C-alpha cells in the first residue's frame, strides 16, 4: 500500500483540541497554571505517545517543537478566557472533536508505516482514546470507558471508515474528512441524546 500521510496540521489540530479538554478538566477543579499545562500535555499527547511506542515510531512530540508549543498556547488561551465560555459540556465537545480527528490521524500514521488495516484501525482508536482516559484518571473522574455513552465506538467508526476508504483508493483528504465527520457526528448524538450500546447484564 502506498504511504498514507495526512498533513501535519491535522495532527496539531487534534493535539490542540485534546489539550483544551485537558486544560478544561483542570479549570473545573480550579487548579494552578502548572497543573493546566500538565493536564493539557498528557491529554493532548497521551494517545499518540502510546501509538508511536506500539508501532515502533519516534514519539511525535519529543521530536517536534510545534507540538508542545501548541499545547502551551492552548493552555494559555483556556487560562486567560472567561470561565463563562467553558460552562456546560464544553469539555465533552472538545473531546469529541479530538476523538474524531485523532482516530483518523492515528490510523493514517499506522497505515503509512506499513501496519496492516485491522491493526491500523486499532491504532486509530488508541490514539483517540488514551489521552482522555489519562485525563479522567488524573482528574479523579470515572473513566470515559466506563460511561454508557458511545465513545470508543465513535473512534472506531472514524478509524474504520478512513482505513476502508484508503484501502479502496479514495483520496486521503476527502477520506479523512468524511471519516472524522462520521465519528464526530456519532459522538455528538451520544452527547446530546445519551446514545449507548447495551451493557453486559448476566
Instruction: Tell which phi-psi region holds residue 195, choosing left (phi > 0), alpha (psi between -120 and 50) or beta.
Output: beta
Tens of pLDDT along the chain (202 residues) come to: 334 566 677 778 878 888 988 898 888 888 899 999 999 999 999 999 999 999 998 898 888 889 999 999 999 998 998 777 766 677 778 788 888 988 999 999 999 899 999 999 999 999 999 988 888 888 888 777 777 778 889 999 999 999 999 999 898 889 999 999 999 999 999 888 877 777 766 7
Q: How far apart are CA 144 and CA 94, in angstroms?
A: 14
Q: Can you give the pLDDT at residue 5?
A: 62
Q: How far apart are CA 53 and CA 57, in angstroms?
A: 6
**Cβ-contact 49, 41 below 8 angstroms:** no
Residue with cell 499518540: 48
Where exactly are the structural domains of the chain?
A: 8-193
Q: Can you give the pLDDT at residue 3?
A: 41
Q: Can you give the pLDDT at residue 190?
A: 87
Q: How far apart are CA 9 and CA 3, in angstroms?
A: 18
Q: How far apart are CA 127 and CA 45, in angstroms?
A: 9
Residue with cell 490510523: 107
**Cβ-contact 89, 191 below 8 angstroms:** yes
- pTM here? 0.85
Amino acid at each position: 500500500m502506498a504511504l498514507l500521510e495526512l498533513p501535519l496540521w491535522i495532527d496539531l489540530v487534534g493535539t490542540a483540541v485534546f489539550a483544551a479538554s485537558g486544560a478544561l478538566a483542570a479549570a473545573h477543579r480550579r487548579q494552578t497554571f502548572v497543573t493546566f499545562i500538565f493536564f493539557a500535555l498528557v491529554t493532548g499527547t497521551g494517545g499518540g505517545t502510546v501509538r508511536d511506542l506500539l508501532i515502533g515510531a519516534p514519539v511525535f512530540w519529543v521530536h517536534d517543537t510545534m507540538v508542545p508549543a501548541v499545547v502551551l498556547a492552548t493552555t494559555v488561551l483556556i487560562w486567560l478566557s472567561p470561565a463563562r465560555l467553558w460552562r456546560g459540556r464544553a469539555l465533552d465537545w472538545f473531546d469529541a472533536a479530538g476523538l474524531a480527528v485523532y482516530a483518523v490521524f492515528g490510523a493514517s500514521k499506522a497505515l503509512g508505516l506499513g501496519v496492516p488495516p485491522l491493526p491500523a484501525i486499532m491504532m486509530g482508536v488508541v490514539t483517540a482514546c488514551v489521552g482522555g482516559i489519562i485525563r479522567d484518571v488524573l482528574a479523579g473522574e470515572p473513566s470515559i470507558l466506563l460511561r454508557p455513552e458511545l465513545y470508543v465506538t465513535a473512534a472506531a467508526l472514524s478509524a474504520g471508515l478512513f482505513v476502508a476508504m484508503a484501502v479502496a483508493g479514495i483520496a486521503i483528504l476527502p477520506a479523512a474528512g468524511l471519516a472524522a465527520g462520521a465519528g464526530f457526528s456519532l459522538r455528538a448524538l451520544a452527547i446530546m441524546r445519551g446514545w449507548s450500546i447495551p451493557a453486559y447484564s448476566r
